[in-house]
Structure 1
């Protein structure tokens, strides 16, 4: 069921940002910021897992993802689509269906019994694999899956994140050093733009979020969080 409807990237980004607000997947809280698992203190939080519960939205996003991949990577560049445990698995299934490709999924670590597999499904030696996650911050989680797939004999030159933070310099370096082109639909800047347009918060809150997006580590440190991301 390959889809090849190519909207402008900015249109796709804007629409995805609107979708995320519509389903209440985005949370701004500058006054009581979130403490993330990395130790980062952040005024923003996003729950892309909610997308799976909205069929019209998820279908549209899979059209966008398929179009982005074909436009930016090529039409015949992949042999299968891989999702990472757990959030990436449903999106791998949706995108594999769109691209008429087989699907596999990758565990965070070998399961520890039976065949001790980390890769589930059929992946031939030398298969060209597209790895997808719901979101990526600095790429650490995605590279855990990429490295596992490469160690199992797969070739990974491309990753797909529906949502990309795009605020950490470490992320760009990680993908460049790892030889992976990252494709994505929307970023925090797109989400903030919609919040400003629709006046979803007062200017003080929006300016604080903008400050975080411009200087996330300084913003975090000033509020007791970490000032650097772990490797």
Structure 2
């Protein structure tokens, strides 16, 4: 399967899971602070055995095409929803499994990385969702501070419309590998899943997400909100 075929297949799984939520009246505020008329709840893939097997199959297919054999020693799931996806991926690929917290635990060993040492290991970071990339920088820092080599991030869905995300990750020495993006969702929809009014609102949002967010009380720039 090509990357485009994988993207559309993942998007169809998201539709099957009921993970694409649209609200034209009351905008959602994403974790990064952006206001959006649509919320993608990738975690809904977790609960259905057929859907989680299918998305794991697609993730493994993507990785086999994108990375030479033997590229990684371990998979690290990002707290919280990235952990189960990483576990299934690690099981399928026979790689070591770790998970990384948003911040050190604060008790005991004050660890940020759990499941075993990562010193000297080449680690693939796995998460469910990427918006502007900020949390991925923190997870990568945690893994690197524990001695891991982290250059690649695999994410199920990427809000690939907010400015600066790719540049921020690139500056941090990270390459993002999304299984699906908004283009995949709109192609997979084909007028069957989204109401016409909802699709039109999503397209208005995607045309200028920063302006849409600003008009609806969300974040207005890449700078921290004050």
- The TM-score, its normalising length taken from structure 1, stands at 0.91
2:24 corresponds to 1:36? no
Q: In structure 2, how many angstroms separate the alpha carbons of the residues matched to 1:164 and 1:200?
A: 19
1:195/1:201 contact within 8 Å kept: no
Which of 123, 126, 134 is 1:129 aligned to?
123
2:205 maps to 212
1:38/1:230 contact within 8 Å kept: no
What SS is found at the alignment partner of 1:53? coil
Which of 4, 8, 12 is 1:14 aligned to?
8
CA deviation vs aligned residue, 1:144-170 (integer Å, no higher than 9, x gap): 111000011000011100111111231
Give runs of aligned pairs for residues 1-231 of structure 1, distance below 5 A: 7-198=1-192, 200-202=194-196, 204-230=197-223
1:4 maps to none
1:38/1:229 contact within 8 Å kept: no
Q: CA deviation at 1:54?
A: 1.2
Q: In structure 2, how many angstroms separate the alpha carbons of the residues matched to 1:63 and 1:217?
A: 34
Q: Identify if the C-alpha distance between structure 1 residues 153 and 200 changes in structure 2 by more than 3 Å, giving closer, same or farther.
A: same
1:65/1:184 contact within 8 Å kept: no
Number of equivalenced pairs: 224
Q: In structure 1, how many angstroms separate the alpha carbons of the residues matched to 2:175 and 2:31?
A: 26
2:118/2:143 contact within 8 Å kept: no
CA deviation vs aligned residue, 1:193-223 (integer Å, no higher than 9, x gap): 3334315212x43222112112100111122
What SS is found at the alignment partner of 2:164? helix
Q: CA deviation at 1:225?
A: 2.1
Q: CA deviation at 1:123?
A: 2.5
Which consecutive residues of structure 1, in runs of 5 or more, have no partner in the other structure? 1-6
Q: Identify if the C-alpha distance between structure 1 residues 199 and 68 changes in structure 2 by more than 3 Å, giving closer, same or farther.
A: closer
Q: In structure 1, how many angstroms separate the alpha carbons of the residues matched to 2:118 and 2:20?
A: 39
Q: Tell me which moved more, 41-50 or 22-31.
A: 22-31
2:119/2:147 contact within 8 Å kept: yes
- The TM-score, its normalising length taken from structure 2, stands at 0.93
Q: CA deviation at 1:186?
A: 0.6
What SS is found at the alignment partner of 2:24? coil
